[in-house]
């Protein structure tokens, strides 16, 4: 699992699929998915999305990037997908999060 998690960390800004993660872990796709969930409590793609949201929070706190740029950089399908994912994970929109971070 360490190899797959390292792969995720090294490729946060690139499109990643389960097959690539399974190959990094030297496992079949199905065995990898089961093992990864048992190890982390999340599916591989849920874990990847969680890590991308954490990275987005960091980028938004730093400032200097628009929400659409953060969404694009972190390989979300589009800005609306990013906003939905971010809101589901944090309880607020990326724009509101960035504004609150600037105000603090």
pTM of the model: 0.93
Please determine, for residue 13, whether its predicted confidence score (pLDDT) is greater than 90. Answer: yes
Report whether 60 contacts 98 (CB < 8 A): yes
Please determine, for residue 104, whether its predicted confidence score (pLDDT) is greater than 80. Answer: no
Pick the CATH number of 1-104 from 2.60.120.10, 1.10.10.10, 1.10.10.60, 2.60.120.590: 1.10.10.60
Q: SS3 letters for 52-87?
A: HHHHHHHHHHHCCCCHHHHHHHCCCCCHHHHHHHHH
User: Using CA atoms, how far apart are residues 19 and 96, in angstroms rounded to an integer?
Assistant: 35
Tell me what the mean pLDDT of segment 78-101 comes to: 95
- pLDDT category of residue 102 using cuts at 50, 70 and 90: confident
Percentage of residues in the chain having pLDDT higher than 90: 92
pLDDT digits (tens, 9 = 90+) for 65-74: 999 999 999 9
């Amino acid at each position: 699992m360490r190899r797959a998690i390292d792969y995720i960390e090294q490729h946060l800004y690139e499109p990643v699929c389960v097959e690539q993660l399974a190959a990094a872990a030297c496992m079949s796709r199905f065995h990898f998915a089961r093992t990864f969930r048992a190890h982390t409590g999340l599916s591989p793609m849920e874990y990847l999305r969680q890590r991308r949201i954490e990275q987005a929070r960091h980028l938004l706190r730093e400032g200097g990037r628009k929400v659409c740029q953060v969404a694009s950089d972190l390989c979300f399908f589009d800005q609306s997908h990013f906003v939905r994912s971010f809101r589901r994970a944090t309880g607020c929109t990326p724009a509101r999060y960035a504004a609150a971070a600037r105000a603090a």
